[in-house]
């Protein structure tokens, strides 16, 4: 059985995707960007943007009944190579020990103000 999840209290995605899916013992979280109080793309300080993207990953996991320490793989996307250092600084604070496997590359996004997008796979077995 495949289950699909969307965090409560957040508007449904405008794009055709499930925020998270659960299949067997694995949860797959769609690429998340930071959002503001009106659920629009957050524009501002990069540290807050990274925290906001990770907050949305955690909210998606929570909707599927998973915890951050159950993440086994992160896919991270940055808009510019210069962001690796500040990204890792925030990320290290969020995963102070036993971090997931991770791949991080530089791409472009659909929205011109997005600088970081993060997807995740968690294991709830």
Binding residues (CB under 8 A) for its own copies: these are 1-2, 4, 15-21, 23-26, 28-31, 69-70, 72-75, 77-78, 81, 84, 88, 91-92, 95, 98-112, 117, 119, 121, 123, 125
**Cα separation, 35 vs 27, whole angstroms:** 22
Smallest distance from its own copies to CB 13, Å: 9
**Smallest separation, CB 35 to its own copies (Å):** 16
* 31/111 Cα distance (integer angstroms): 13
Q: Closest CB to its own copies among 42 and 77?
A: 77
Cα–Cα distance for residue pair 95/78, rounded to 1 Å? 18
Q: CB of residue 73 vs its own copies: minimum separation in angstroms? A: 4
Q: Least distance to its own copies from the beta carbon of 9, Å?
A: 19
Indicate the burial class of 77 (C-beta count within 10 angstroms; 0-12, 13-18, 19 or more): buried
- Residue number with CB closer to its own copies (40 or 92): 92
Supply the DSSP symbol for 94.
H
Rounded distance between C-alpha atoms, residue 119 and residue 6, angstroms: 14
């Amino acid at each position: 059985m495949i289950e699909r999840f969307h965090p409560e209290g957040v508007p449904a995605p405008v794009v055709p995707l499930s925020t998270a899916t659960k299949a067997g013992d694995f949860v797959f979280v769609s690429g998340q960007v930071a959002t503001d109080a009106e659920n629009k793309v957050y524009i501002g300080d990069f540290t807050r943007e990274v925290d906001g993207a990770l907050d949305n990953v955690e909210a998606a996991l929570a909707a599927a009944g998973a915890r951050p320490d159950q993440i086994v793989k992160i896919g991270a996307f940055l808009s510019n190579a210069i962001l690796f250092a500040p990204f890792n600084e925030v990320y290290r604070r969020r995963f102070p020990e036993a971090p997931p496997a991770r791949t991080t590359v530089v791409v472009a996004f659909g929205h011109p103000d997005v600088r970081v997008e993060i997807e995740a796979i968690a294991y709830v077995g």
